């Protein structure tokens, strides 16, 4: 137990020490090696023109097509590192901002059996065990029909320098449907940044195009939301959204 804490605290503090010389915001827009083109995205929204008969009849119902952007995320409430007990997860806060800024739909990955403890120390142990076993914890609920989306933002907290194992369950169960799509990773963390989320995602979804990800300090999600939103908007804008 003491060893676990020591190792995790090393993981958390080492990147902090390395980045201590960098001034400014702690939200990192990682310029990652991507596996595909990061060219600006061309939106493929359908026509919202009204027919003459609709115009004449004064129909005002929105003809806006469903979004072709989805945000998939995993996030925990309860006790979290540096922020105490929270009732909205750090990654959930970023996921909502992305959805608000892009009009995206959202899908939250929830464990099928809620086996993740609400206390930080216990959660780190369960997560480490899952990683050691290369587990594929099941998630609950129906994934929306991915065929309607061409861009999927995918976010999670960094757990032990990696995606939480439950995210690999999602990637692997949906790798066929994710093929050919633009996938955009984002993390929340307390020192590890994006922690290779992009490369790990590319390895599991080799037929998808991975665009530049965003890493956000978890504490900022709770305590510096205006800064986080600003950085989210800048990142989206650089990606063409
Ligand atoms: C099990 C566990 C492992 C973690 N491992 C790391 C890590 O390796 N590097 C890091 O920077 N932060 C690590 N953290 C901190 C979380 O990434 C950070 O608090 C995150 O913002 C939590 O997001 P959430 O509220 O959406 O779950 C870890 C937290 C937990 C619970």
Instruction: State the CATH number of the domain containing residue 80.
Output: 3.40.50.360
- Cα–Cα distance measured from residue 212 to residue 182, given in angstroms and rounded to the nearest whole number: 10
Residue 129 lies in a domain: yes
Instruction: Please report whether residue 46 resides in a domain.
Output: no
Residue 52 in domain: no
User: Domain total for the chain?
Assistant: 1
pLDDT score at 77: 94
Calculate how far, in angstroms, residue 224's C-alpha sits from the geometric centre of ligand 1. 17
| Structure token digits, residue 182 | 């633009």
Q: Is residue 217 part of a domain?
A: yes
Residue from 190, 193, 223, 225 whose mutation best tests the ligand 1 pocket (most atoms within 8 A of CB):
190
In this structure, is residue 49 part of a structural domain?
Answer: no
C-alpha 102 – ligand 1 centre gap (Å): 26
**44 in a structural domain:** no
The verdict on residue 45 lying in a domain is: no
Mutational test site, ligand 1, from 80, 132, 135, 155, max ligand atoms within 8 Å of CB: 80
Low-confidence ranges of the chain (pLDDT < 70): 1-65
Q: How far does the centroid of ligand 1 lie from the alpha carbon of residue 124, in Å?
A: 9
What residues make up the domain containing 232? 2-19+26-35+63-239
Q: What pLDDT, on the 0 to 100 scale, is given for residue 66?
A: 76
Residue 43 domain flag: no
Q: From the CB of 102, is ligand 1 less than 6 Å away?
A: no
Q: Tell me the DSSP string of 111-139.
A: BSS--S-SSHHHHHHHHHHHHHTT----B
């Amino acid at each position: 137990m003491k060893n676990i804490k020591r190792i995790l605290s090393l993981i958390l503090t080492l990147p902090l020490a390395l980045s201590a010389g960098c001034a400014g915001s702690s939200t990192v827009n990682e310029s990652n090696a991507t596996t595909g083109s990061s060219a600006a995205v061309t939106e493929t929204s359908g026509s919202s023109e009204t027919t003459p008969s609709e115009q004449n009849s004064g129909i005002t119902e929105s003809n806006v097509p469903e979004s072709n952007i989805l945000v998939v995320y995993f996030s925990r409430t309860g006790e979290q590192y540096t922020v105490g007990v929270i009732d909205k997860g750090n990654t959930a806060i970023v996921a909502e901002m992305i959805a608000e800024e892009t009009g995206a739909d959202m899908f939250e990955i929830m464990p099928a059996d809620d086996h993740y403890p609400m206390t930080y120390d216990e959660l780190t142990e369960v997560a480490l065990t899952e990683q050691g076993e290369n587990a594929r914890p099941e998630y609950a609920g129906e994934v929306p029909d991915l065929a309607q989306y061409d861009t999927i933002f995918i976010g999670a907290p960094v757990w032990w320098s990696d995606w939480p194992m439950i995210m690999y369950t999602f990637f692997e169960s949906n790798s066929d449907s994710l093929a050919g799509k633009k996938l955009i990773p984002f993390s929340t963390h307390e020192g590890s940044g994006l922690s290779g989320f992009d490369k790990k995602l590319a390895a599991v979804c080799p037929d998808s195009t991975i665009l530049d990800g965003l890493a956000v300090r978890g504490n900022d999600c709770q305590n510096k939301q205006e800064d986080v939103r600003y950085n989210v908007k800048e990142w989206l804008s650089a990606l063409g959204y």
